[in-house]
Amino acid sequence: MIDFITALTPAALIHHAPALVVTVPLILSAFTAIMPSSRAAWGLCLSAALFVGWMVILLFGQLATQDVIVYAMGGWDAPMGITYRVDALNLQILALVASIGLLCVIYGYATVKDEIAKDKRPLFYSAFLICFAGLLGVTITGDAFNVFVFVEISSLATYALIAMGAERDRRALTASYNYLVLGTIGATFFVIGVGFLYMATGTLNMADMAGILAETGHTRVTQAAFAFIVVGLGLKAAMFPLHVWLPNAYATSPSFVTAFLASTATKVAFYALIRFLYAVYTPDTGFVMLSFTWVFAVVGVVGMILASVQALFQSDPRRLLAYSSVAQVGYMMLGLGLGNALGLAAALMHLVNHAIMKGALFMALGAFGLKFGISKISDLNGLGRTMPASAAAFTVAGISLIGIPLTIGFTSKWYLIIAVLERGWWWAVAAVIMSSLLALAYITRMLAAIWMENPPEHHGETVPKTRAPAMVLVPMGLLAFANVYFFFNADFIVGMAQRAASAVMGGQ
């Protein structure tokens, strides 16, 4: 299939695919903002998402015949110019962002119409494309300062997208403001770290930084840079305890925005953290290895337990799933903290799997919200009989989040436990099991309301069976199906994660 698509694509598009994957949605965002109707804006947004998917397929084809794709912007080679770099690590993140972005655009046709004022919809889709391009840019660039630029591009658009949730919940304005303040602090920490690295190496190209640091060794300046970068990207990745912006942002955003951010934003920040740890610094450096054991592993374990406990006490299902996301980031941090290829592969596997789970869960909540106002768990009562298709998708994704066999949640937790046992960390295995049991408790609360309580009533009569629009059911159903499909056909996700881990551990 990839070969067929590549054969039909002009050579110029293939050559410039690394640049086009970012520039096209960024350019189209300007035209989307001035579209005369929301339908035209949505169509242009969908076209941009389809084009990005096409370019990512072309990158898969190119990477099948080479280890790394390096594209020099404007023909200026590094270190003078900015390069885009595609390898086994970031290709899977590009594919994830492109896939989730496309599904969310399809999903947004009905939900945006329901939640966003008509005159603001073109601006909404424009802001989404800016956020979309920013996340893709963070993933593909090989320039450290360019990472900061794209982080800010995506963040500024995200603040606006969250604030647009004020049509439904005025608390979205406060959530957006809080995220703006904390996001600015995180970006400041990150750019200070990049500045220190530039002061120590004289270059902003990450590959050149790695080569210079390998020759000159590390100083207090590069160690300080490491600390600033970890804090800055840790805040963007919602690493415990830097996650305080996330629950309110997820709970008050439009359904489209919550589904997209929960599946992509923290994942891209986690990828950027991996890129700096392995492409600029090296795991065998003393202070880096100490950070794996005493920062990432410890923070990961504490986060997965405490955030799960916080989720237990939430009455709003969106806030509950938001705290669950913080716990799931803890699993990824634990895998990163193992400091070996097996642990990193498990973390990357869980990154992809969690995006699939949370995308389906938040899309299902949005589907419920189209028909009924969902602001607390009791509002889910009886929706298994009232909206069976959406309830089934929510159930499948929920049991996958717990990690029950026959779902992808079990697959990534299984690989993580194997990696932990290789290090002999029995306490971490116990933490993974405890966190999974807590997930069982809070997911069961919602499933019990959906399937075991009586359906809602209207004027004393049971609300008749209904269903969400097809444009909502299709992407939600695909993600729910993926939760089961990739358990039985896990080679694609497992293989990508293992190749990515082997590439970065090998210094490629």
Q: Taking a C-beta distance cutoff of 8 angstroms, is the pair 504, 279 a contact? A: yes
CA distance 170 to 163: 9
Q: How many CB atoms lie within 10 A of CB 453?
A: 16
Walk along the chain (508 residues) and give the pLDDT tens digit of each residue: 777 788 778 888 888 999 999 999 999 999 999 998 999 999 999 999 999 999 999 999 888 888 888 988 888 887 778 999 999 899 999 999 999 999 999 999 999 988 898 889 999 999 999 999 999 999 999 999 999 999 999 999 999 999 998 888 888 999 999 999 999 999 999 999 999 999 999 999 998 998 899 888 888 999 999 999 999 999 999 999 888 899 999 989 999 999 999 999 999 999 999 999 988 898 878 888 888 888 999 999 999 999 999 999 999 999 999 999 999 999 999 999 998 889 999 999 999 999 999 999 999 999 998 877 778 898 888 888 888 999 999 999 999 999 999 999 999 999 999 999 988 899 999 999 999 999 999 999 999 999 988 876 644 455 666 778 899 999 999 999 999 999 999 899 999 999 988 888 764 4
Report how far Cα 126 is from the mean position of its chain's Cα atoms.
Answer: 20
What is the C-alpha separation between 272 and 401, in angstroms, rounded? Answer: 24
- What does the alpha-carbon distance between residue 437 and residue 417 come to, in Å, rounded to a whole number? 15
Q: Model confidence over 409-422: pLDDT tens digits?
A: 999 999 999 999 98
Q: Cis omega (within 30 of 0) on the bond before 79? A: yes
Strand partners of residue 84: 71, 141
Q: What number of CA atoms fall less than 13 Å from residue 95's CA on the CB side?
A: 21
DSSP-derived secondary structure letter, 70: E
User: Largest Cα–Cα distance of the chain, in whole Å?
Assistant: 77
Which tokens is 161 given?
Answer: 């997208």
Whether residue 241 has a cis bond before it, omega within 30° of 0: yes
Domain spans of the chain, in order of start: 335-501
Instruction: Give the three-state DSSP class for 10.
Output: coil
Beta strands in 31-189 (DSSP E): 69-72, 83-86
Task: Please choose, from the candidates 147, 140, 139, 145, the residue with its C-alpha nearest in 3D space to the C-alpha of residue 271.
Answer: 139
Q: Distance between terminal CA atoms of the chain?
A: 27
* Cβ–Cβ under 8 Å, residues 39 and 77: no
Contact 148, 190 (CB under 8 A): yes
Distance of CA 219 to the CA centre of its chain: 33
Give the tokens for residue 497: 């994660």
